[in-house]
């Protein structure tokens, strides 16, 4: 966000700001660096394909410098999007009513007097000057819809001569890959359902293609001589020359070369990749630990059998994973992307000690229509999802273990994980200094909420949208890469531990109520991961349901009844990521129920481990972080203002309303369960007289 608003300490009166709030609230303004960059898609010039695809696009009338014009926009809620101009009177011989190849950006260009600019800045509008362009200012909105609304409202303000949305006409000076199968790689650019892809073209157009980033492929091996993979392969950083078709496909999703006349392309087509294999503990630990001063990312499209049974990490493998994640890359940590499993709703990520580990980045799968793939697993350990098979189309990539071939049917979380790994290669090229924890925060903050109408979405106590199958949403390169460029590193890790909590009680058999235990944590940190260590003696862990509830009331289902005949939870570690940014202090509740008859289970003990960052005291008005979500960033600015009003006027029962509960009836700091004039007074007192 521009500092124009935050630094304007000679703020307008509250009354005047309220009068202008009708202008301010419809548009949520972004950082000056847009989270979506332009990209020109030659494929979109195929008007017949566009006509077939256009049913899923949104028609919007946009203010332009030539007056209102209708456009069909692929991503109206993003900061940049493909679009087609609607020209209903154009003859079919001239190409028909859709003029393709346009781009819309969420900038509002203003031609106005200096006095009008000063008035708007004084009222809270974050206007930026443009060097060498006198008389013009730019306003960067959070979305194309918000830009259109802001331009329409600002056009009527005194002293404003022009207010229009930034529109890029069709141009030919930028190009996407020319590889013959690129048009079929819908996971990179989806013309039929434009929202359902990794949105990589904006990142490519910014110049980020993975150059200089080393991505390890830990798999069954890969065909290193494949002509689409060989140019980017590093034998010096590899530990194996073994090949498997599966690994060849994984490598292609990440780093297949561009513009060579062969097949398609990888997400990070200029990244370097290396070949490693998993297998015995010795082999797997060696691959996880190899060359970690050079590797930035290691992808793992493998894991324990998808049979709904818990699995345990070999100590050597656990040590290799933890060491790489904490000391690799000079202490910044290697990023381990991990396929989250293909067991569907019968299985859970929580039973997989690799994907659920706090040292990895688990990747679930969504389809070419942006919905959950039937095979993707739910879990409290879910973080994000990426596109793969399961809809009408599979993924086009390299193939072959002895002979170089291609496939159009690769899929599963085996394909979603390298797609995310490739996107993260673009992210790490944009900002090589990011740590593993930085990247986890980036993903949480910038994941796109796919399938927003899905009933599985809920909101945690920090105001973040969460889903057992989607985590925080879909990986989106067009958002992640610009966010990475300006990302402020997260504070040092703080770890808290409950110590061993003894229970020593028999669980009621065939009983859904079970036993409940609580632990009160006095210390307060802002959470990232929470681990639950369980010790239960039983002949069948599949009889048990385990649920942890945070002090903020967010549940994390860790295990459900299933056909798992494994005996005993012996120091078994469950991990939840659903509590990101919640505060740790308060009463933690765990409930365990033995819901199936015949086997007696004894709950011996449990333990909680908390991982996050220290909480810095903030002013009451500092309720939004840099991306506009609930939190704090140490700055009182437009994001706080917008969030407060959205929360203040939200209906009863809306979780966002709690973020307006700042003070008690005497306007003193401290929520009282009510949203009233005390909160309003406290917010404005803090906003205009910062602590």
pLDDT in tens, 588-610: 999 999 999 989 999 999 999 99
pLDDT for res 169? 74
Backbone CA torsion sign across 419, 425, 428, 432: positive
Which of the four pLDDT bands, split at 50, 70 and 90, describes residue 220?
very high
**Pick from 40-44, 175-179, 196-200, 454-458: least confident:** 40-44
pLDDT for res 41? 28
Tell me: the pLDDT tens digits for 265-307? 999 999 999 999 999 999 999 999 999 999 999 999 999 999 9
Q: What Å distances lie between residue 681 and 530, 620, 638, CA to CA?
A: 36, 11, 17
Cα-Cα-Cα-Cα dihedral of 373, 377, 380, 383, to 10°?
-50
DSSP state of 606: E
- Is the pLDDT at 170 greater than 80? The verdict is no
pLDDT for res 486? 87
CATH hierarchy code of domain 182-485: 3.40.50.200
Q: Read off the pLDDT of each residue in 383-391 and give the average, rounded to a whole number.
A: 98
Which of the four pLDDT bands, split at 50, 70 and 90, describes residue 221?
very high
- Is the pLDDT at 667 greater than 80? The verdict is no
Take residue 531 and report the two structure tokens written for it. Answer: 């681990």
Cα 382 from Cα 482, distance rounded (Å)? 24
CATH architecture of 494-614: Sandwich (2.60)
- 311 is annotated as an active-site residue: no
pLDDT for res 664? 65
Contact 272, 423 (CB under 8 A): no
- Is the pLDDT at 36 greater than 90? The verdict is no
pLDDT for res 89? 66
If we measure between CA atoms, which residue out of 33, 182, 176, 11 comes closest to residue 488? 33
Cα 575 from Cα 356, distance rounded (Å)? 6
Identify which has the larger pLDDT, 326 or 616: 326
Tell me: the pLDDT tens digits for 15-34? 233 323 333 332 333 333 22
Q: What Å distances lie between residue 553 and 148, 356, 497, 642, CA to CA?
A: 38, 22, 20, 25
Q: What Å distances lie between residue 609 and 55, 304, 497, 584, 603, CA to CA?
A: 49, 24, 5, 11, 18
Q: Read off the pLDDT of each residue in 250-265 and give the average, rounded to a whole number.
A: 97
Which residues does residue 32 pair with via DSSP β-bridges, in sequence order? none
Tell me: the pLDDT tens digits for 602-650? 999 999 999 999 986 667 888 887 667 777 767 788 888 888 888 888 8
Q: What Å distances lie between residue 627 and 3, 35, 203, 312, 433, CA to CA?
A: 14, 10, 19, 38, 20
Q: What Å distances lie between residue 296 and 239, 425, 432, CA to CA?
A: 16, 8, 9
**Pick from 70-74, 274-278, 655-659: least confident:** 655-659
Cα 405 from Cα 401, distance rounded (Å)? 9
pLDDT for res 359? 98
- 89 is annotated as an active-site residue: no
- From 219, 352, 637, 640, the catalytic residue: 219
Q: Read off the pLDDT of each residue in 188-199 and give the average, rounded to a whole number.
A: 92
- Is the pLDDT at 164 greater than 90? The verdict is yes
In sequence order, the 6+-apart residues with CB closer than 8 A to the CB of 619 are: 636, 686, 690, 691
Instruction: Estimate to the nearest angstrom the gap between the alpha carbon of 538 and the chain centroid.
Output: 38
Backbone CA torsion sign across 574, 577, 581, 586: negative
pLDDT for res 297? 98
User: Mean pLDDT of all residues in the chain?
Assistant: 87
For residue 153, the SS3 value is helix
Cα-Cα-Cα-Cα dihedral of 648, 649, 653, 657, to 10°?
-20
Burial of residue 473 (number of CB atoms within 10 Å: 0-12, 13-18, 19+): buried
If we measure between CA atoms, which residue out of 374, 382, 305, 369 comes closest to residue 345? 374
Identify which has the larger pLDDT, 667 or 353: 353
- Is the pLDDT at 37 greater than 50? The verdict is no
pLDDT for res 84? 83
- Long-range contacts, stretch 566-570, CB < 8 angstroms, 24+ apart: 566/309, 566/310, 566/540, 566/541, 566/542, 567/538, 567/539, 567/540, 567/541, 568/536, 568/537, 568/538, 568/541, 569/310, 569/534, 569/535, 569/536, 569/538, 569/541, 570/535
Burial of residue 157 (number of CB atoms within 10 Å: 0-12, 13-18, 19+): middle
- From 246, 295, 387, 441, the catalytic residue: 246
Cα 44 from Cα 516, distance rounded (Å)? 57
pLDDT for res 86? 87
Which ranges in the chain are annotated with CATH 2.60.120.260? 494-614
Encode 20-38: b = buried (16+ Cβ within 10 Å), e = exposed: beebbebbbbbbeebbbbb
For helices 638-648 and 14-24, angle between their N-to-C axes, nearest 10 degrees:
80
Which of the four pLDDT bands, split at 50, 70 and 90, describes residue 66?
confident
pLDDT for res 624? 81
Contact 641, 124 (CB under 8 A): yes
pLDDT for res 683? 86
Which of the four pLDDT bands, split at 50, 70 and 90, describes residue 691?
low
In sequence order, the 6+-apart residues with CB closer than 8 A to the CB of 499 are: 607
Which of the four pLDDT bands, split at 50, 70 and 90, describes residue 172?
very low
Share of the chain above pLDDT 90, in %: 69
User: What are residue 558's phi and psi, to 5 degrees?
Assistant: -105, -30
- From 389, 414, 417, 550, the catalytic residue: 414
Cα-Cα-Cα-Cα dihedral of 149, 155, 161, 165, to 10°?
10
**Pick from 186-200, 328-342, 405-419, 643-657: least confident:** 643-657
- 187 is annotated as an active-site residue: no
Take residue 269 and report the two structure tokens written for it. Answer: 């087509």
Burial of residue 380 (number of CB atoms within 10 Å: 0-12, 13-18, 19+): buried
Which ranges in the chain are annotated with CATH 3.40.50.200? 182-485
Encode 215-226: b = buried (16+ Cβ within 10 Å), e = exposed: bbbbbbbbbbeb
Cα 227 from Cα 232, distance rounded (Å)? 10
Take residue 581 and report the two structure tokens written for it. Answer: 């940014």
In sequence order, the 6+-apart residues with CB closer than 8 A to the CB of 378 are: 345, 348, 349, 468, 469
- Is the pLDDT at 670 greater than 70? The verdict is no
Which residues does residue 594 pair with via DSSP β-bridges, in sequence order? 544
pLDDT for res 665? 59
In sequence order, the 6+-apart residues with CB closer than 8 A to the CB of 109 are: 65, 136, 137, 138, 162, 163, 164, 165, 166
**Pick from 209-218, 330-339, 643-652: least confident:** 643-652
């Amino acid at each position: 966000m521009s500092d124009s608003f935050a630094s304007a300490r000679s703020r307008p009166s509250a009354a005047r700001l309220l009068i202008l709030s009708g202008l301010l609230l419809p548009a949520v303004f972004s950082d000056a660096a847009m989270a979506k960059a332009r990209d020109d898609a030659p494929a979109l010039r195929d008007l017949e394909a566009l006509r077939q695809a256009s049913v899923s696009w949104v028609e919007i009338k946009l203010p332009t410098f030539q007056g209102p014009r209708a456009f069909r926009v692929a991503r109206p809620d993003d900061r940049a999007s493909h679009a087609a101009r609607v020209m209903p009177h154009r003859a079919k011989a001239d190409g028909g009513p859709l003029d393709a190849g346009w781009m819309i950006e969420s900038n509002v260009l203003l031609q106005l007097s200096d006095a009008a600019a000063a008035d708007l800045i004084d009222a809270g509008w974050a206007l930026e000057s443009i060097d060498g362009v006198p008389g013009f200012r730019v306003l960067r909105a959070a979305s194309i819809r918000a830009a259109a609304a802001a331009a329409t409202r600002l056009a009527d303000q005194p002293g404003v001569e022009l207010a229009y949305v930034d529109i890029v006409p069709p141009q030919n000076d930028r190009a996407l890959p020319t590889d013959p199968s690129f048009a079929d790689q819908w996971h990179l650019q989806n013309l039929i359902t434009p929202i359902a892809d990794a949105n990589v073209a904006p990142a490519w157009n910014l110049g980020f293609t993975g150059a200089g980033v080393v991505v390890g492929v830990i798999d069954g091996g890969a065909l290193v001589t494949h002509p689409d993979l060989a140019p980017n392969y590093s034998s010096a950083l590899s530990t194996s020359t073994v090949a498997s078709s599966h690994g060849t496909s994984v490598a292609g999703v990440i780093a297949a070369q561009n513009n060579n006349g062969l097949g398609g392309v990888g997400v990070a087509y200029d990244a370097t990749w290396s070949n490693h294999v998993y297998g015995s503990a010795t082999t797997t630990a060696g691959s996880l630990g190899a060359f970690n001063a050079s590797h930035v990312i290691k992808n793992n499209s493998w894991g324990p059998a998808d049979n709904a049974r818990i699995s345990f990490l070999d100590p050597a493998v656990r040590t290799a994973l933890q060491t790489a994640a904490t000391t690799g890359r000079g202490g910044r940590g290697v990023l381990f992307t991990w396929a989250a499993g293909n067991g569907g709703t019968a299985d859970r990520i929580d039973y997989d000690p690799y994907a659920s580990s706090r040292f990895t980045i688990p990747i679930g799968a969504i389809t070419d229509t942006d919905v959950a793939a039937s095979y993707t697993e739910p879990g409290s350990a879910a973080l994000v999802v990426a596109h793969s098979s399961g809809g009408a189309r599979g993924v086009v990539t390299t193939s072959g273990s002895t002979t170089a071939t291609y496939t159009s049917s690769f899929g599963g979380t085996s394909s979603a994980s390298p797609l995310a790994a490739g996107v993260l290669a673009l992210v790490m090229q944009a900002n090589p200094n990011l740590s593993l924890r930085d990247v986890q925060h980036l993903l949480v903050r910038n994941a796109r909420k796919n399938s927003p109408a899905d009933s599985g979405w809920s909101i945690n106590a920090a105001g973040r949208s969460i889903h057992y199958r989607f985590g925080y949403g879909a990986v989106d390169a067009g958002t992640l890469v610009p966010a990475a460029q300006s990302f402020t590193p997260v504070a040092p890790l703080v770890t808290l531990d409950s110590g061993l909590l003894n229970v020593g009680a028999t669980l009621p058999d065939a009983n859904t109520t079970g036993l409940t235990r609580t632990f009160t944590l006095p210390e307060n940190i802002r959470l990232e991961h929470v681990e639950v260590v369980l010790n239960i003696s039983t002949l069948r862990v599949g009889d048990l349901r385990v649920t942890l509830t945070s002090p903020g009331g967010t549940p994390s289902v860790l295990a459900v009844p299933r056909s798992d005949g494994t005996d005993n939870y012996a120091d078994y570690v469950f991990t939840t990521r659903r509590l990101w940014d919640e505060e740790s202090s308060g009463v933690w509740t765990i409930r365990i129920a033995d819901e199936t008859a015949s086997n007696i289970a004894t709950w011996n003990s449990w333990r909680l481990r908390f991982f996050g960052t220290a909480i810095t005291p903030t002013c009451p008005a500092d309720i939004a972080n840099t991306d506009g979500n609930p939190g704090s960033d140490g700055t009182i600015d437009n994001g706080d203002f917008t969030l407060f009003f959205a929360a203040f006027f939200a209906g009863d029962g809306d979780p966002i309303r709690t973020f307006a509960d700042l003070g008690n009836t005497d306007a003193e700091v401290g929520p009282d369960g009510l949203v009233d004039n005390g909160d309003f007074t406290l917010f404005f007192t803090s906003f205009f007289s910062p602590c």
